[in-house]
Structure 1
Amino acid sequence: MINIESLALKKLNKSGLSALVGWAKEEGWNPGANDFEVFWKTDPDGYYGFYLENELIAGGAVISYDGQFGFMGLFIVRPDFRGQGIGKKLWYLRRDLLVGRLKTGAAIGMDGVVDMQPFYEKGGFNIAFRDERYERLGQKMAVSTAISAIGTEDFETLLDYDLECFGYDRKAFLKNWLLIPYSKAFKFSVGNLVKGFAVIRKVNTGYKIGPLFADNDEIAEELYKACLSSANGQPVYLDIPVVNGGAVDLVKKYKAKYVFECARMYYGKPPEIALDKIYGITTFELG
C-alpha cells in the first residue's frame, strides 16, 4: 500500500499528458492519436497528477478557459494503483486547484461516468443532462449543396457559433481542433450565414464526430450525413445530449446503436448554452 499522504500534486509535462491519453486509449475511451497535441495547445498548464518514484500513477485535466470557465476530464488512476484512495485525493486536489485558476464564481464542467456520478455530486457537482454515445458505420450518401469544407476564412464566424453552444470563448482549442490531422470539418451555410458545423476525426477505433452544432434538425442531419460519407465503412461515433430531442431522433433515424453514457455535470452555475443547437458534444475530456 502506498502512503497516500506522501503523494503531492505535480504539473504534467507534454509527455505526461501523452501518457494520460494513452491510458484513456487502454480504458476504451477511444481518443485520437493527435488529441493530446490539441489538448496541450489549449492549456499547457492544465494537467496534473501524482508521481511515484518519477513514474506517473494518476492524473487528470484541470482546464481553464481564460479564467471564465473550467473543465475537468481525463481523470485516470493507473489500474495497478486503484483501490487505495489515490483517486479520491487526486480528484479533490484537482477540483480545488482549478477553482484557484478561475475567476471568483466561475463554473466548472465535467462529463461523469454513471458509476462515479454519486461521488462527483458529493464533491459539489450537479447533473445538467445525460450524454449518450452512439455508433454506426459510415456510408456514402448524397448531402445538401449547402455543405462545404471549413476554411481558415470561416474561423471568426465559427467562433461566434461555438460560443453560443459552448458558452465560453475557446479560441485556442477550436483553431487547432478544426485542423487536427486525419479529420474533416464541414459547415452548412446559406449565403454568408453559417447555420451549423461539424468535425469528424480519426480515433483509435473508427471516427468520432464532435462537435455537431446546427440551427435545426434538418441541418444537423445533413452535417451528420456529410460526416458519415467521409468515413465510408468505418465505425462512426456521436455523443448526443439526450435533452435535445432532435439529436435523439437523428441517431434513431440512422439506426445508430447505443454504446454507453455519461452526464454533463457542473460545479457552480451552469453556462447559458443553446442546447437545442447541440446535436453532438465536442469531447468528454475538454468539454
Structure 2
Amino acid sequence: MITRKLLIRQMSRRELDELVNSAAQEGWNPGLHDADVFWATDPDAFVAAELEEALIGGGAITSYDGEFGVMGFFIIRPEFRGLGLGNALWHARRERLLARLRPGASIGMDGVFAMQAYYAKGGFVFSHRDIRFRAEIPDHLDATPVGGEQITPLTEIAFEQVVAYDRTCFPAARASFLNGWLSQPDTLALGCRRAGRLSGYGVIRRCREGCKIGPLFADDAQAAESLFLHLQGFAAGGPLFLDAPENNPAAIELARRYRMVEVFGCARMYLGPPPDLAHRRIFGVTTFELG
C-alpha cells in the first residue's frame, strides 16, 4: 500500500544538499564541495524518492556522454527502510539510467558489502573490492622525494593531457567532471612528470572529516608513492582517507606501507561488460558516488 504512494522524480539542487547530508549521517564522509561538482557534472543524474510530499531518499544515475553510467548515492531514510520503498527506487533508477545510455553501455557501482547479494539479483556482477583506508597525519610532515619524478601543480599541465591520462583509468572521457573536480575549493591537485611526460596525477580534498585522496592514478608504485607523499601534507593534523582497489595489489601495499588502517569498503560491480582499464594505474578511486 505504501509503495504505491511513492513518487520517483528528478531531484532539485536543494534536495541534493539534503542527500549529501544524509550520506554524511551514514558515515560516508562526503567532500565539502561534492554537491556543487556533482550537480555541475550531470544535474539530470539525481533522482528523488518522495512520499506524501516528503523527501525520503534518492540516488544518482550519472551518465558520461551515454558511454558509461554510474549508480551511486543510494539512500533511504532509516525510518522508511524495510517497506519496499528502497527496492522500488533502486529498480526505477536502474531503468532510468539504462535509458540514458547507448545500447550495450555498461553501468558501474560501488555498493556496500551487505547489499552485494541484492545488487547481484539486479544483474550486477562483482569485480573487486575497493577498500577505504585511514591514517592520522602529524601536524608537520615533509614530503620525501621518491625516484626521479617531478611533482607539480596540475594546473601547470595541459588539461587535455590530464583528461587523456584519466581516460586510461576510467571507462569514459569525463572532461566536464574533471574541470569541476580539479578546480573546487579546499583541494590540492598535483601531477607527476617523468622525463617530461605525465606519469600520474592525484587530488586531495577536504571532507566532513579530514581529507580524502581521490583519484590517485599513476604509471607505477613509485610514481603513486611520490604523489601520495606530497598530497598527504594537505591533511596535516587530521585524518587522511584513501579508497584503494584490491585488484591492484600495489595500491593496497602503498596504504599499508604508510600504516593506514582499513575502515570501510565497497564492492565494485558492473551491469554489462566490465570496462577495459589500466587497473595497475589505479591506486585511489575518485569517488564512490560518481565513479
TM range (shorter): over 0.9
Deviation of 1:49 after TM superposition, in Å, equals 1.9
Question: How many angstroms apart in 1 are the aligned matches of 2:55 and 2:15?
Answer: 7
Secondary structure of 2:32's counterpart equals coil
Larger deviation, residues 5-14 vs 104-113? 5-14
Deviation of 1:153 after TM superposition, in Å, equals 4.7
Deviations along 1:7-40, whole A, 9 cap, x unmatched?
A: 1210001111111111001111000121000000
What is the identity, as a one-letter code, of the residue corresponding to 2:273? K
Question: TM-score under structure 2 normalisation?
Answer: 0.96
Q: Pick one of 239, 244, 265 that aligns with 2:243.
A: 239
Question: How many angstroms apart in 2 are the aligned matches of 1:118 and 1:242?
Answer: 19
CA contact (8 A) 2:5 2:51 kept: no
Secondary structure of 1:250's counterpart equals helix
Equivalent residue pairs, number: 286
Deviation of 1:152 after TM superposition, in Å, equals 6.3
What is the identity, as a one-letter code, of the residue corresponding to 1:4? T
Asked if 1:171 is matched to 2:169, the reply is: no
Question: How many angstroms apart in 2 are the aligned matches of 1:8 and 1:231?
Answer: 41
CA contact (8 A) 1:238 1:280 kept: yes
Question: How many angstroms apart in 2 are the aligned matches of 1:177 and 1:48?
Answer: 21
Larger deviation, residues 252-261 vs 118-127? 252-261
Question: How many angstroms apart in 1 are the aligned matches of 2:41 and 2:144?
Answer: 32
Question: How many angstroms apart in 2 are the aligned matches of 1:142 and 1:186?
Answer: 13
- Indicate the RMSD between aligned Cα atoms, in angstroms: 1.2
Question: How many angstroms apart in 2 are the aligned matches of 1:141 and 1:257?
Answer: 21
Asked if 1:249 is matched to 2:244, the reply is: no
Deviations along 1:39-66, whole A, 9 cap, x unmatched?
A: 0011000011211233211100000000
Asked if 1:100 is matched to 2:99, the reply is: yes
Asked if 1:154 is matched to 2:153, the reply is: no
Question: TM-score under structure 1 normalisation?
Answer: 0.97
Residue matched to 1:135 = 134
Asked if 1:266 is matched to 2:278, the reply is: no
Secondary structure of 1:84's counterpart equals coil
Residue matched to 1:115 = 114
Deviation of 1:148 after TM superposition, in Å, equals 1.2
Task: Note the residue ranges of structure 1 that are not aligned, 5 or more in a row.
Answer: none
Question: How many angstroms apart in 1 are the aligned matches of 2:223 and 2:144?
Answer: 10
Question: How many angstroms apart in 2 are the aligned matches of 1:124 and 1:215?
Answer: 33
Question: How many angstroms apart in 2 are the aligned matches of 1:33 and 1:217?
Answer: 29
Deviations along 1:182-224, whole A, 9 cap, x unmatched?
A: 0100111124311000000000000000000000001111111
Secondary structure of 1:165's counterpart equals coil
CA contact (8 A) 1:138 1:230 kept: no
Question: How many angstroms apart in 2 are the aligned matches of 1:153 and 1:129?
Answer: 32
CA contact (8 A) 1:34 1:181 kept: yes
Question: How many angstroms apart in 2 are the aligned matches of 1:192 and 1:14?
Answer: 42
Residue matched to 1:73 = 72
Question: How many angstroms apart in 2 are the aligned matches of 1:222 and 1:119?
Answer: 39
Question: How many angstroms apart in 1 are the aligned matches of 2:64 and 2:132?
Answer: 25
Question: How many angstroms apart in 2 are the aligned matches of 1:25 and 1:3?
Answer: 27
Asked if 1:228 is matched to 2:227, the reply is: no
Residue matched to 2:20 = 21
Task: Note the residue ranges of structure 2 that are not aligned, 5 or more in a row.
Answer: none
Residue matched to 1:201 = 205
CA contact (8 A) 2:157 2:191 kept: no
Residue matched to 2:192 = 188
The percentage of aligned residue pairs carrying the same residue is: 45
Larger deviation, residues 137-146 vs 267-276? 137-146
What is the identity, as a one-letter code, of the residue corresponding to 1:246? A
Question: How many angstroms apart in 1 are the aligned matches of 2:154 and 2:112?
Answer: 33
Asked if 1:216 is matched to 2:220, the reply is: yes
CA contact (8 A) 1:137 1:228 kept: no
Question: How many angstroms apart in 2 are the aligned matches of 1:129 and 1:283?
Answer: 15
Deviation of 1:82 after TM superposition, in Å, equals 1.2
CA contact (8 A) 1:240 1:281 kept: yes
Residue matched to 2:89 = 90
